Chains A and B, each alone.
Chain A
Amino acid sequence: MKSKLLGSWEIKKTNSSSAMKKFGISVSSIVLGLLFAGLFVLITGKDPLKLYSEIFQSSVGSVYGLTETLVEMIPLALCSLGVSLAFRMQLWNIGAEGQFYMGAFGAAYFALFFSYLPILILLPLMMIAGFICGGLWALIPAIPKAFWNVNETISSLLLNYVAYFWMAYLVYGPWKDPKGNNFPLTKQFSESATIPVFGNTRISYAIFLVLIIAIAMFILIKYSKWGYEISVSGSSRKAADYAGMSYVKNVLKVMFLSGAIAGIAGMAEVSGVLHRLQQTISPGYGYTAILIALLARLNPFSILLVSFMMGGLLVGGFSLQTSGFPSSMVSMFQGSILFFVLAGEVFNNYRLVRKKV
């Protein structure tokens, strides 16, 4: 690359990058991202440092904040594990938000209409329903992608809005609690449809689910033949075809599983935290999940770590509301961090070297 800007420096391509260097680049990306977003806070006459310390204090600065961070981490990690599987095959499933809603819908169906079943039967039923509904919802964009190469990024995103209005229909219409003073809520789930929580916290046992799925995902991508097929199909469709792997089948399978995991997240949220359906059941978990997956470079265990961080950011965002800030402003920080992570990629793949004169 010849550029006057670089002067006597040039960019050389390197194929290896040490783990230490990668970590350093990730950390500096996050710091730079927060600084960049802080600029916007600064020019509007607010103190970004105060804002950041408030976010930090309210999330990991107290035991209560920490437990709330873990509560947020569960849906984030599950959605992110889901989308990361699709990303591995270069399938841009950005419909996790809708898949989350549909998973919640499937689970709520059993919670509301089979509430008499014992917990050990009902909870697994709800989980299966969440899994299938989330997976089927992801199949809707997957089928045109697999057969006609229809852009899955846009189609999966459009379905988020459809899922959102479907939920609105249910809670304003047929599933509205008749004894709920006309609020758009379903009736509260029975005890047997509720995932138990730890002690006095709101952290449900679904956190084990997160760990199990993360480990299963790690084994799948690292040690299974199918995991190998996914990464081959992701890097080159030609190579996959040549090796006799069915691209169409893999697109369908990967998208289904990706959506199904987001569906489980929806089930875990309504069964473990909200205990009912309402119009908004997610502050954008499905969107934040994309960022987490990219930040964690699709590694299942890094996803857990980054989900914890982003969970903290969300909790901090909720607390900012009391100071008059919209909680959705945390997505400004998220987007900004992602900018620098993406720009930082170049330092993983390339190296600045001084030109030999």
Chain B
Amino acid sequence: MDLNYIIAILAAGVVAGTPILYASLGEVITERAGILNLGVEGMMLVGAVSAFYVGTFTENKWLGLLVALIAGGLMALIHAVITISFRSSQVASGLALTIFGTGLSAYLGRSLVGIPPTSTFKAVAIPGLSQIPVIGKILFNQDIMVYLSVILVAILWFVFYKTKVGLLLRAVGENPSAVDALGHNIFFIRYAAVIVGGMLAGAGGAYLSLAYSPSWIENMSAGRGWIAVALVIFAVWDPRRALLGAWLFGVIASLGLHLQALGVMIPSNFLQMLPYVFTFVVLVITTRETKNRRSGTPAALGIPYSREER
């Protein structure tokens, strides 16, 4: 295996990791506010189908992305109403959202199967930086959504740890009654976090249908939403580690594909299992770690907030 081949695998890994990165960042925001949303898979699918629909018919990928953000946000709003206002089970509501999104996207996309895309995100080399040996080809010869995702990581890191809004968001996930006592509106903060989280899941879906494999196929997210949820635990709710995890995952996935092309004598189905097995193992290892360090998990995660019961 020569260097160019390794570079190609790593560059493809960044692309494969990007939809998961968007979804993971969304889930980090949601869980930081104390709400678990297992509907990521469903939100991604609805994002993917609406992005492809609008992007293809308006021939404008940006409009497609915008609509995916809105669609993901609206999906998340359902979860917010059920879990924040009605204080129902977050696990069950998230599952319902995934089931609903799978069906809704299949329904909306029924006439889109096999239609070629008209406007997609293509690689744009950054002048200068893309000339750096090795790294240039891996990181600076990608599409705009990849660059945006990296900028988003930086922004989120800044907001989380350097601003009052971030402090408030984290506090809501740790100790909502204290934040409430200070006079802040818990319900508003949680609604906002869940909706923004859904918008980013929608963006992850848009990446699938407008950049990663520009098309619409039923169930095209193929479990990436679940992998994104698992990566949040790996990331210890830190956007920087979400980036690391998503790219690591992407590289594993692209390695699987390339091993096949290289003619390695492993049946392709086992290589297809690789990302899921890898995520499972990572989930187990990181949960054990976090447990030992007793840090990371927002203390109020999954617990409905009610003023009268505080």
Contact = CB atoms under 8 A, between A and B. Distances in A.
A161 B92 CA distance: 20
A335 interface: yes
A333 B276 contact: no
Interface string A121-154: 0000000000000000000010010001111011
Contacts of B222: 161
Interface string B228-265: 01100100000000000000000000000000000000
B272 A2 contact: no
Contacts of A324: 110
A151 B269 contact: no
B103 A331 contact: yes
A162 B277 contact: yes
B99 A153 contact: no
B288 A148 contact: yes
Contacts of A334: 99-100, 103
B293 interface: no
Contacts of A330: 103
B97 A161 contact: no
A326 B273 contact: no
Nearest to A337: B96
A240 interface: no
B115 interface: no
A64 to B, nearest CB: 25
A159 interface: yes
Given A326-B218, A342-B93, A1 B308 contact: yes
A215 interface: no
Interface stretch (A105-113, A163-171, A224-232): A163-171
Contacts of A287: 99
A86 interface: no
Interface string A85-124: 0000000101000000000000000000000000000000
Contacts of B87: 346
Contacts of A159: 276, 280
Contact of A333 (B38, B103, B108, B284): B103
Contact of B306 (A1, A40, A149, A338): A1
A341 to B, nearest CB: 8
Contacts of B99: 287, 290-291, 331, 334-335, 338
A326 B86 contact: no
A169 B270 contact: yes
Q: Which of B103, B279, B287 has the most CB of A within 10 A?
A: B103
A159 B267 CA distance: 18
Contacts of A150: 283-284, 287-288
Q: Which of A150, A172, A339 has the most CB of B within 10 A?
A: A339
A47 interface: no
A148 B284 contact: yes
A302 to B, nearest CB: 16
Interface in B62-121: 78, 81-82, 86-89, 91-93, 95-104, 106-108, 110
Interface in A256-289: 287
Given A1-B306, A166-B269, A332-B100, A149 B287 contact: yes
A291 B102 CA distance: 14
Interface in A280-307: 287, 290-291, 294
A267 to B, nearest CB: 22
A336 interface: yes
A201 B188 CA distance: 55
Given A149-B291, A153-B38, A161-B273, A338 B107 contact: no
Nearest to B104: A332
Nearest to A346: B86
Interface in A225-265: none
A150 B230 CA distance: 10
Contact of A342 (B89, B276, B279, B283): B89
B88 A325 contact: no
B267 A342 contact: no
A324 B107 CA distance: 10
A194 interface: no
A335 B96 CA distance: 5
A94 B99 CA distance: 12
B81 A343 contact: yes
B226 interface: yes
Contact of A335 (B88, B103, B229, B276): B103
A191 interface: no
Contacts of A41: 107
Contacts of B270: 165, 169
Nearest to A342: B88
B81 to A, nearest CB: 7
A342 B87 CA distance: 9
B181 to A, nearest CB: 14
A237 to B, nearest CB: 15
Interface in A43-57: 44
A120 to B, nearest CB: 35
Contacts of B110: 324-326, 329
Given A154-B226, A332-B107, A333-B103, A338 B283 contact: no
Nearest to A287: B99
A92 B229 CA distance: 15
Nearest to B278: A158
A149 to B, nearest CB: 7
A345 B230 CA distance: 28
B113 to A, nearest CB: 9
Interface in B104-150: 104, 106-108, 110
12 contacts: A151-B230, A151-B287, A160-B223, A166-B269, A168-B272, A326-B107, A328-B218, A335-B96, A335-B103, A338-B95, A338-B99, A346-B87
Given A329-B110, A342-B93, 6 more contacts: A40-B104, A41-B107, A150-B288, A325-B110, A335-B100, A342-B86
Ranked 10 nearest A-B pairs via Cβ: A335-B100, A332-B103, A331-B103, A338-B96, A335-B99, A169-B269, A342-B88, A329-B107, A328-B106, A326-B106
